[in-house]
Amino acid sequence: MKSLTVATIQTHPVFGHVEENIEAALEFIPDDCDLAVLPELFSTGYQFRDKTEAMGLAEELTGNAETGAATKRLTRAASESGTTIVAGLAEKDGDRLFNSSVLFRPDGSREIYRKVHLFMDEKSIFTPGDLGFPVFEACGTTIGMMICFDWIFPEAARSLALAGAEIICHPSNLLLPWCQAAMVTRCQENMVHAVTSNRVGTENRTGTTDLGNSATEMIGGELVFSGRSQIVEPQGNILSSLNATETGVAVATIQIVEKDKQFTQRNNLFEDRRPELYWS
Which of 148, 169, 179, 187 is the catalytic position?
148
* Separation of alpha carbons 114 and 101, rounded Å: 6
Length of the chain: 280
On whether the CB atoms of residues 30 and 251 are closer than 8 A, the answer is yes
Our answer to whether residue 40 is catalytic in this structure is yes
Our answer to whether residue 51 is catalytic in this structure is no
Our answer to whether residue 233 is catalytic in this structure is no
* Separation of alpha carbons 172 and 179, rounded Å: 10
* Separation of alpha carbons 225 and 243, rounded Å: 12
3-state secondary structure 213-237: CCCHHHCECCEECCCCCEEECCCCC
Q: Is 110 helix (H, G, I), strand (E, B) or coil?
A: strand
* Separation of alpha carbons 224 and 228, rounded Å: 13
Which of 91, 115, 166, 179 is the catalytic position?
115
Bridge partner list, 262: 268
Using alpha carbons, list the distances in angstroms from residue 96 to 52, 99, 125, 231.
11, 10, 9, 32
Q: Is 182 helix (H, G, I), strand (E, B) or coil?
A: helix
Output the CA torsion 110→78→233→201 (10° steps). -100
Which of 33, 40, 166, 187 is the catalytic position?
40
Residues with active-site annotation: 40, 115, 148
